[in-house]
Chains A and B, each alone.
Chain A
Amino acid sequence: MDKKYEILEHPAELRLRIYGKTLEELFSNAAEAMAQILSPSAIKSELRIKNLELRIKIKSVDISSLLVDFLSEILAKSQINKSVYLVSNVNCQMSDVKAELKTTLIGYPVDHFDEDIKAVTYQDLNIQKIDGIWQTVLVFDI
């Protein structure tokens, strides 16, 4: 399974299904999906101009909240820094009482966004492993 994500139907918002061979890859692909929606041209390889690299750490109560908090952090930085971000070196640590993630954000500057993602929602979020592939539905408020 090489598919990173696919867009599903939703009358008002943007609904996707995200895939990954590992949890880390799921998170990385979710970030890439968001970057593609915000500005596909910014991360095209021929136009790539690396901006800033930021190391971030996110702590949440469970894995679903971790994904929302992770993407929300990136979304806020995208708007504040006028950039879109891919991630590398994602490291997830899960236990019964906490969920943590560390990663490096690689920024690509933009002069406009193709889509105005208002927020990352919790709707339909259900991270699970099916047939050896991690996946979840993810809904952005746009």
Chain B
Amino acid sequence: MIVKKDLNKINDFLWEIPKNFRSDMRVPARIYADEKLLEDATRDESIEQLINLCALPGIQKYGLAMPDIHEGYASPIGGVAAISTTDGIISPGMQGYDINCGMKLLRSDYSEKELKPHLDKLATEIQKEVPSGLGRGHQIKLDIASLDKILEGGAQRLVEQGYGEKEDVENCEASGKLEWADAATVSSTAKSRGRDQVGTLGSGNHFCEVQKVEEIFDEEAAKVFGLFKDQVVIMIHCGSRGLGHQVATDYIREFMRLTEKYRIKVPDREFACVPFNSPEGKRGMSASACAANYAWANRQMIAYYIRKVWQNVLGENTRPLTAVYDVAHNIIKLEKYEINGKEVEVAVHRKGATRAFPPNHPEIPEKYRAVGQPVLIPGSMGTASYVLRGTEEAKESFYSTCHGAGRTMSRHQATRTLSGQEIVRNLEAKGIIIKCYSLRGIAEEAPQAYKNIHNIVDVVHNAGLSKKVACLTPLAVIKGE
């Protein structure tokens, strides 16, 4: 078990375990946290998992953990590893099974006061219209040829077919599509799992939320992002569903069988990996890209359903919802950084961590370049979410920041000790509308099961990983099944 004295304090929000702490570490481990969050991290296996991550071949500079760090499998949740594509590996397990789990934010031109009379109907209709999983809400079943086009075309494919606006793709990480996706690298089992799940929310901590802008911290950035106080916005949290889960399963299994061939030792078999430039590595990268594209298409389709509801409930002449941004928090991305005086291409593996590019970065929409990339951080149910912006200071973290509040309580303990009914009552007493199919699911996602999002975001802000722009509070929460 790692204890606090094993870590060196770099500053009030950054701690380091030196490379010589364990003989297989190739780089030091760094955790962005204040004293309290660091104490929390020592109570589970998350720091041990971070140390394991530091043993991955080709890892550059540091193994990193964000302030919402907690125990996962292989990497901790909140883990970041930038791995050289020249002589390093690719590890599908490092990004997690829910490839491109992420966030999408839509903004309206309306204030809370204007929308209040319609809120319950909006929430009810969104729950009906957005399929949450198996059998709830209408579902599309695609033929394989159509699915392949989505795997390769991502959100762009759906917008071309009329399921969105040009701005949806402009205001999306990677423009909603990773170019190196090849549908032939995805198994038939994965495609069978994904055929009828496009546009489905899923369950667990996935949700749609109607929110309002509670507080603005950065007026200039808020204006650039199109946000104003008391504005109604809608946040979507979901990922690549069964298709992505199966892609990760398939390639972890395949790579585990290649340890003899490539003689790569990893401290945790769930990190199963191959050289990035190997034929298997290229296929794995391509399949992960397909899953990522599927997730962007998924969020695009859900946005389409929400827009339909918006118009139906508020009327034909209603001013439409506009995409602010869409970010991934479980993904492998190709990025370039200066390391030891040379430009190095790295496969940045982020698991429960969000990309946060700084001002003037060419990969963010031109209209946002003056202030930096929007970063979307959901809090636990019924608390708050945040919009932040990327900063130049975060170069040290490969422009990575947190992804959410981080769990402190197991789902099992939450359902044993908390009442879903009581949680719903408490939220309704605060004026928050809840639409859900499962009270057990509500108990699992209780705010008490998560860290304090305000504390996490304050650390992120003070550490310079990204800067606060706006705080959003929920008006209506729609959970999947």
Instruction: State the A residues within 8 Å of B (CB).
Output: 7-15, 61, 65, 68-69, 72, 76, 79-80, 82, 110-116, 118-123, 139, 141-142
Contacts and interface: CB of A to CB of B under 8 A. Distances in A.
User: For the side of the interface on B, what is the size category?
Assistant: 35 or more
B190 to A, nearest CB: 8
A84 to B, nearest CB: 11
A82 B96 CA distance: 24
B134 A11 contact: no
A111 B409 CA distance: 29
Interface in B14-71: 44, 70-71
Given A116-B202, A141-B73, A142-B411, A65 B256 contact: yes
Nearest to B272: A122
Given A76-B189, A112-B481, A122-B269, A139 B73 contact: yes
B97 A118 contact: yes
A110 B96 CA distance: 27
A78 B410 CA distance: 25
Given A112-B136, A141-B73, A11 B270 contact: no
Contacts of B77: 12
B253 A69 contact: yes
B305 interface: no
B249 A119 contact: yes
A11 B203 contact: no
Q: Find the residue from A13, A113, A118 having the highest chain B CB count within 10 A.
A: A118
Contacts of B5: none
A125 to B, nearest CB: 8
Interface string B113-141: 00000000000000000000111100000
15 contacts: A11-B44, A11-B71, A11-B410, A12-B70, A12-B77, A76-B242, A80-B192, A112-B134, A112-B481, A116-B480, A119-B97, A119-B248, A122-B269, A123-B268, A142-B204
A13 B72 contact: yes
B71 A10 contact: yes
A14 B411 contact: yes
Nearest to B203: A116
Given A65-B253, A80-B192, A139-B73, A111 B135 contact: yes
Q: Find the residue from A7, A11, A82, A139 having the highest chain B CB count within 10 A.
A: A11
